[in-house]
Amino acid sequence: MDISTLCIHGADNNTHNTGAVSVPIYQSATFAHLDVGKSTGYDYSRLQNPTREYLEKVMANLEQGTDALAFSTGMAAITALMELFSIGDHIIASGDLYGGTVRLFEHISRKNGLKFDYINTSDLDAVRGLIHPDTKAIYIESPTNPMMQVTDITAVCEIAKTFGLLVIVDNTFLTPYYQQPLVLGADIVVHSGTKYLSGHNDTLAGFLVTKNEDLSERLRFIYKTTGACLSPFDSWLLIRGIKTLAVRMDRQQENAVKLANWLTTQKKVNKVFYIGLPDHPDYAVSTKQASGFGSMISFEVDSETTAIQLLERLQLVLFAESLGGVETLITYPMLQTHADVPMEERLERGINDCLLRLSVGLENADDLIADFEQALN
């Protein structure tokens, strides 16, 4: 079945017998038992809820996994993921990560005894050079946030397999519609469901997806114990959002290609970081492992003054800290997504006061270009 069809009919809707096309919202915290030792399969919504269960089956099918866990936020998903590891365990991570993930690793996970090294995971020799006996996992964002670096996931998985390491891939930017890391060899896929999967900037959610039964069992135990499960209503919002994922991603990518190419022609724009541009250094890797480029663009303007001018003058494009919704959003990473990353580290990664990140939405592309033109000039 084509993935665009899976987005709409991603799991069997056998939670009811009413004929309702839309999956019901089971707004219940607890479920009555039929008798002693007899259960409907549901006990308490922290463990499982019929609405969330349907959503999780959809996500598992989209990623070609066997289990998916839906969390209250993307960060809740990553926080639970870190509970797989023990004091002294070492994790290699992409050097250009979402600032919230860095904040978790550096201020919570390190406190709990985990160790991290950050590297451009597209440099395979550098990845190999960081592996030592305490290394347990390689954590990848691809493309990275916000510098749009792409890692060869299959190549990293081959290295990891040699050393018995887990490979974890944050697939938020491309979604399973364009990229399926489990198929490429990864063990766990992470999503901020808040972004493209929801698609409407109206709810928070996170996912962990795997096809490994042992990992599924361990993650389910952590899940029910720590309790950051997605509510029934938010699960329904994600189910609804995913139904239009394919058409949204295609239109947003179409807009992003037009806008990225236009930005490359502007005198006040020094660099454009978009993996769909043929001159992007990771373009070949992208075309090998993904079926699309997505709609995330970062670009560097000629001065801080120009950056501020853009943020203040844009009218259609909204200055906001998120991505993946139907509205086009522009973000200033140094003040928003990466504000908690030390300045020296930010600058080393290219996150300076001239860098802006753009999540391209569903508006008419010519209207977006016209908005940028008036703001720049």
Q: Output helix, strand, coil percentages for the chain, rounded to the nearest 5.
A: 40, 15, 45
- DSSP conformational letter for 23: P
The reply to whether 223 belongs to the active site is no
pLDDT given at position 16: 63
| Structure confidence at residue 348 as a pLDDT band (50, 70, 90) | confident
For the chain, the domains span 3-243, 247-376
CA dihedral 10, 13, 18, 21 (to 10 degrees): -10
Whether residue 112 has pLDDT greater than 70: yes
Task: State the catalytic residue, choosing from 52, 115, 136, 195.
Answer: 195
**pTM for the whole structure:** 0.96
| Structure confidence at residue 15 as a pLDDT band (50, 70, 90) | low
Q: What percent of the chain shows pLDDT beyond 90? A: 89
pLDDT given at position 28: 96
Rounded Cα distance between 155 and 128, Å, is 11
* Lowest pLDDT segment from 108-117, 284-293, 327-336: 327-336
Query: At the topology level of CATH, where does 247-376 sit?
Result: Aspartate Aminotransferase, domain 1 (3.90.1150)
Rounded to an integer, the average pLDDT of 31-56 is: 92
Rounded to an integer, the average pLDDT of 140-161 is: 97
The reply to whether 52 belongs to the active site is no
Rounded Cα distance between 337 and 314, Å, is 20
Residue 139 vs residues 37, 88, 171: alpha-carbon distances, Å: 42, 16, 11
Distance spanning both ends of the chain, measured CA to CA = 48
The reply to whether 46 belongs to the active site is yes
Rounded Cα distance between 376 and 309, Å, is 7
The reply to whether 161 belongs to the active site is no
Task: State the catalytic residue, choosing from 89, 170, 187, 234.
Answer: 170
Task: State the catalytic residue, choosing from 42, 54, 98, 332.
Answer: 98
Whether residue 72 has pLDDT greater than 70: yes
User: 34 or 29: which carries more pLDDT confidence?
Assistant: 29
We find that the CATH architecture of domain 3-243 is 3-Layer(aba) Sandwich (3.40)
